[in-house]
Amino acid sequence: MKRMIWFTTISILFMLFIMPAIMASLIKMTPADDQPGYGPRRLVWPEKTFNLWH
């Protein structure tokens, strides 16, 4: 019976307080820490150098 008491108490507390944290860590934020307009400049196409003489 002691094992069942511990098992129930721990599993319920895990479900209420640990599980939500695990679930939150699984959420994939879009865009993930790469927000356009912030941080270093990112190029969509490779940068080209134009030479007017050739």
* Cβ contact 12:6 at 8 Å: no
Outline where DSSP puts E strands in 1-54.
none
The token pair that represents 32 in the structure block: 């993930």
Residue 28 or residue 54: which is nearer to other proteins going by CB?
Answer: 28
C-alpha 2/C-alpha 16 separation (Å) is: 21
Residue 31 or residue 46: which is nearer to other proteins going by CB?
Answer: 31
Interface residue list for other proteins (CB under 8 A)? 1, 4-5, 7-9, 11-13, 15-16, 19-20, 23-24, 26-28
Residue 30 or residue 49: which is nearer to other proteins going by CB?
Answer: 30
